[in-house]
Amino acid sequence: MKALFQLSMALLFILNTLLEVTGQTFSKTYVDTLSLSCLSENSLEYNGYYYTSSSGGGVNLQQGFYCQITKIATNGDLEKRFFAFDTTRSYSSGPPLFKDSNGNFIISLGESVKGWISPRGIIAVKLTEDFDTIWHFRHSDTTQFDSPHNIYRSENGYIYISGGRNYYKDEDPYSLDGFLLILTDNGDLVDFKTFDEGGREYFTSLTPCEDGGCFLGGATNSFTGQNEGYLVKVDSLGNKLWAKHYSQFANCSASLYSIEKLILSGYKLSSIGTGVLGLADTSGALIWTRNYSYSGNPAFYNAICTSRKDIIAVGIATLSGEGDSGFIMSVDSMGEPNWSRRYNYNEFTDFFSNLIETSDGGFLINGSASDIDGSGQNLWLVKLDSMGCLEPNCWEVGIEDAKANELGVKVFPNPASEWLNFKLPGNSGEITLEVFSISGQRVLHTTLFAPLEAIQVGHLPLGLYLAKLTNSDGTNSTQRIVIAR
């Protein structure tokens, strides 16, 4: 009965989403001549455009680092680019971006002096919609290494910035404290708080809550000597109300699922890597956690709750022989997978760092994609539809002609060009996929665990292949597939 119920729920999800798939799609990189590397941080949608922030290293490191805000049309075309960069100071480590109700940008940056790679302070800048400076605030002393990661403006006008602060001293250059900087809407200092449990702490997320305070998510090693997830609740003035640490995570970011629940997303360090998701109540008590461990070595960097109350997580997956891929997965409110997708821009290091749900029902994902020669990274934006497809309805193409094999798995389309889709029965559990060329060489090896999973095969040469599917009890099935373009 349980298996039948799970299958029924999976089919219900498919039918519901099939009727509601929405969203324009694109996958583009935005190259600039200043950068050796460009790390994309976060995006927002405003007045029919997307705005994204990123940081990069100058071609000549004596120029230091810089940040940029990029204005993007909904089809992915570049509209405008703003650089924070000059010959005496440059900015990096972040930069989180926020847009207030008046249409102004607020951005926070790490500051470095010319010739130094490491940021040495925290910068907050308020800009008009045309990127003209309204005010500029600097909080720094020369012994600090500061990395802001999150920014938020509350209804009372306070601006909150969180991240990691390194007390860079000879005796311990690797100690790290979480910090929270609070400013007024005019850029005046309210307070600066640090959070030290005795070891290393840092924050990767900042989530506002109903009572005017915030949840700060990140990592700590102060309690066990090993990295654990770290969650702190503060009031509106940054005073710590409580702190929790979670052995289920090596790092966790927090976001709102509802006014009563938080999504925790991260990873657990192990020999193969394990993505971890969880749900907690607003006192920090865990409701559930779930590991997503398979040959892709996943790590989740952020997750959101969608308007449909699904959880969408993004991060990185490393597939044998394929390099690092951007990874996106949908799960239900109990952590059961709905679907997952992997995307590559090039064959080197590509990953997703953050996402937003867009007004058309799809997702805009911030990421970084390697250059063709693998020498650096570029800002990478990927716009997917509501089913996580770059090609609209990617999972649906060819399903009418697909027949289930001995394990009940449908493989489609066949022939395939860029994507091969797998529809698993609801009671199948994890299934190992191996793809062999006609010469017997194994060209793909991964694990399928979602009811709908799309595997990228665009890198495979044209021809005939054999797909071998094996379930948890060792039963296997083989199926011929054709790659044709």
Better-predicted residue by pLDDT, 141 or 367:
367
CATH architecture assigned to 2-384: 6 Propeller (2.120)
More confident residue, 401 or 435: 435
All residues at 6 or more sequence positions from 255 whose CB lies less than 8 Å from its CB, including other chains: 205, 207, 262, 263, 265, 302, 303, 304, 305
Mode of pairing for the β-strands spanning 452-456 and 337-343: parallel
- Are residues 252 and 265 in contact, defined by beta-carbon separation less than 8 angstroms? yes
Please write the tens of the pLDDT for every residue from 163-207. Answer: 988 755 444 555 688 999 999 999 999 999 999 998 889 999 999
**Domains of the chain by residue range:** 2-384, 402-483
Q: What's the rounded Cα separation, in Å, for the pair 354 and 303?
A: 8
**Element containing residue 2 per DSSP (H, E):** helix 2-20
Residue 343 CA to residue 355 CA, distance in Å, equals 14
Residue 273 above 50 pLDDT?
A: yes
Q: How many residues does the chain have?
A: 485
> In this structure, are residues 366 and 302 in contact, taking their beta carbons and an 8 Å threshold?
no
Q: Which of 5-14, 19-28, 244-253, 332-341 has the lowest mean pLDDT?
A: 5-14
Please write the tens of the pLDDT for every residue from 195-209: 999 888 999 999 999
Tokens of 375: 């020498």
pLDDT bucket at 248, cuts 50 / 70 / 90: very high
* C-alpha count within 13 angstroms, C-beta hemisphere, residue 145: 14
- The mean predicted confidence, pLDDT, of the chain is 81
Check: CB of residue 18 under 8 Å from CB of residue 400: no
Which amino acid belongs to residue 155?
E
- Asked whether residue 297 carries a pLDDT value surpassing 60, the answer given is yes
Q: Is 167 exposed, middle or buried (0-12, 13-18, 19+ CB in 10 A)?
A: middle
Q: Which residues contact 108 (CB under 8 A, 6 or more apart)?
A: 94, 95, 96, 122, 123, 124, 125, 148, 151, 161, 163, 181
At the top level of CATH, which class does the domain 402-483 belong to?
A: mainly beta
353-404: per-residue pLDDT in tens?
A: 999 999 998 999 998 887 666 566 778 899 999 888 888 666 555 444 555 5
pLDDT tens readout for residues 308-352: 899 999 998 876 556 788 999 998 899 988 888 888 887 667 889
Share of the chain above pLDDT 70, in %: 76
